[in-house]
Amino acid sequence: MDETAKALIELGAVIFALGVLGRFANRFGMSPIPLYLLGGLAFGQGGFFPLGETSEFSDVASELGVVLLLLLLGLEFTASELVTGLRRSWMAGVVDIVLNATPGVVAAYLLGWGSTGALVLGGVTYISSSGIIAKVLSDLGRLGNRETPVVLSILVFEDLTMAVYLPILTGVLGGVSLLGGLQTVGIALLTVTVVLVVALKYGRNVSAIVHSEHREVFLLQLLGAALLVSGIASALQVSAAVGAFMLGIAISGSTAHSAAKLLEPLRDLFAAMFFVVFGFNTDPTQIPPVLGAAVLLAIATTATKVATGWWAASRVGVRRMGRARAGAALVARGEFSIVIAGLALAAGQVDDELAALATAYVLLMAIIGPVAARVAEPVMNLVTRSEKPRDPFPDALP
């Protein structure tokens, strides 16, 4: 069969299957993300129906999905709200690092992978998935909740931490000198600072540049700007996700509202591709040998993320239900964790077992995260009811 025809058939089958999975999830009132991940496992390497012709397109579509997820997340907030949130939540960011990197570091030393393994696995367990969390918050209608700015502030802090961590990790894995590593970190921090200043002072100008009364022109300019900013950010050793988020922050007012409505269908399509591609790149045969360690790590870091969100939300006066939602929202791990493990594996500086553990762990957390976010409210309702004092004389007459 012609390669183009085969690629179209495979791509059509994947997209149609995503629609079926999404319909199934909607019928039972659950997030479709875990089903997308399991679907990717079925269609990926080592799965039941491995695909071969769509990998290049799928990888690009996956990256575009992350960009669109973070762009639309940024459109929900202004630059001043972001800066205020960072000022309020910087301590929560530090607590987040300590609580969630520590289990990975300890596990790496216990498994005999040394300092390099500890640096890698600590990063894997620390960083939450902005892509998954953005999708979950949108699916559950929580973007306007009081605890959501706290969650977003922690996510932005994590992404900015990655702007420092990834150059350091790359330097350690590649044997780069300390001076070279510091130069890369300096460029990353300077880039983030410049983009944030532009968003604060020239947000109206950015909105005017991308805005158009014609939907077609508006879409092309908006999508083109998002890809340009994300690509430049990535080239400067800053996450493409951070670049897209910052652009969304810079666009404000009616332009932001119109842009969100215009991009939502594209976001949903390419975000689904992101989660499927994540499953594509996971070989199911590698999971069983490391599943026990991955489960223990998942239990520990679910607890530490919930504790992080609970504590951060409590500091700004959010009530107990909101604290529980904030903690559960932060649980998911995803794209950054896989990037970290991939860098280490490509450099040949870590054991293959570490990469398998990271993959199994992230797959577990990518499924646990959306489920935890959905059940946080019902669980808190049950706890609250059980804590209500009982009437000692329920049958007494008034």
- The amino acid that residue 262 corresponds to is L
The range of the structural domain enclosing residue 260 comes to 3-384
Percent of the chain's residues with pLDDT above 70: 82
- b/e sequence 138-163, b meaning 16+ C-beta within 10 Å: bbbebbebebbbbbbbbbbbbbbbbb
- 178 inside domain: yes
Residue 86 tokens, joined: 């960072």
Task: Please say if the pLDDT value at position 94 is more than 90.
Answer: yes
- Structure-model confidence comparison of residues 224 and 41, the more confident one: 224
**Highest mean pLDDT: which range of 7-21, 29-43, 230-244:** 7-21
Compute the C-alpha angle 208/192/127, nearest 5°: 120
DSSP 396: -
Task: Please say if the pLDDT value at position 179 is more than 90.
Answer: no
Task: Please say if the pLDDT value at position 302 is more than 90.
Answer: yes
Compute the C-alpha angle 27/32/36, nearest 5°: 130
- 397 inside domain: no
CA dihedral 155, 332, 292, 280 (to 10 degrees): -110
Task: Please say if the pLDDT value at position 107 is more than 70.
Answer: yes
CA dihedral 279, 285, 289, 294 (to 10 degrees): 10
Task: Please say if the pLDDT value at position 192 is more than 70.
Answer: no
The C-alpha atoms of residue 73 and residue 67 are separated, in whole angstroms, by 10
**Backbone phi, psi, residue 217, to 5°:** -65, -45
| Chain segment 34-82, per-residue pLDDT in tens | 788 778 777 766 656 666 655 667 778 877 887 888 788 778 777 676 6
CATH number at residue 340: 1.20.1530.20
Once rounded to an integer, what is the mean pLDDT over residues 233-251? Answer: 76
Q: How many CB atoms within 10 Å of residue 224?
A: 11
96 Cβ contact partners less than 8 Å away, ≥ 6 residues apart: 126, 154, 157, 158, 308, 312, 330
Domain count, the chain: 1
- 396 inside domain: no
Once rounded to an integer, what is the mean pLDDT over residues 247-251? Answer: 83
Q: Cα–Cα distances in Å, from 260 out to 196, 220, 229, 275, 336?
A: 20, 14, 18, 21, 24
| Chain segment 378-394, per-residue pLDDT in tens | 888 887 776 655 545 44
Task: Please say if the pLDDT value at position 168 is more than 50.
Answer: yes
Predicted local confidence at residue 254, as pLDDT: 82
- The amino acid that residue 108 corresponds to is A
Q: How confident is the model at residue 398 (pLDDT cuts 50, 70, 90)?
A: very low
- The amino acid that residue 238 corresponds to is V
Task: Please say if the pLDDT value at position 154 is more than 70.
Answer: yes
168 Cβ contact partners less than 8 Å away, ≥ 6 residues apart: 181, 185
373 Cβ contact partners less than 8 Å away, ≥ 6 residues apart: 31, 136, 137, 140, 325, 328, 329, 331, 332
The C-alpha atoms of residue 90 and residue 82 are separated, in whole angstroms, by 12
Predicted local confidence at residue 285, as pLDDT: 78
Once rounded to an integer, what is the mean pLDDT over residues 360-371? Answer: 88
Q: Which of 166-175, 358-367, 378-387 has the lowest mean pLDDT?
A: 166-175
Predicted local confidence at residue 313, as pLDDT: 92
Task: Please say if the pLDDT value at position 397 is more than 60.
Answer: no
The C-alpha atoms of residue 77 and residue 74 are separated, in whole angstroms, by 6
Q: What's the whole-model pTM score? A: 0.71
Q: Which of 54-68, 215-229, 289-303, 362-376 has the lowest mean pLDDT?
A: 54-68
Task: Please say if the pLDDT value at position 99 is more than 90.
Answer: yes
Predicted local confidence at residue 297, as pLDDT: 96
Q: How confident is the model at residue 180 (pLDDT cuts 50, 70, 90)?
A: low
Task: Please say if the pLDDT value at position 238 is more than 80.
Answer: no
First-to-final CA distance of the chain = 84
Percent of the chain's residues with pLDDT above 90: 20
Average per-residue pLDDT for the chain: 81
**Backbone phi, psi, residue 260, to 5°:** -65, -45
Predicted local confidence at residue 305, as pLDDT: 96
Q: How confident is the model at residue 31 (pLDDT cuts 50, 70, 90)?
A: low
Residue 24 tokens, joined: 């199934």
Q: Which of 36-50, 224-238, 275-289 has the lowest mean pLDDT?
A: 36-50
Residues across the chain: 398
Predicted local confidence at residue 395, as pLDDT: 41
- 391 inside domain: no
Nearest residue to 264 via CA among 133, 105, 117, 73: 73
- 164 inside domain: yes
Predicted local confidence at residue 239, as pLDDT: 65
Residue 188 tokens, joined: 């990353």
The C-alpha atoms of residue 92 and residue 78 are separated, in whole angstroms, by 21
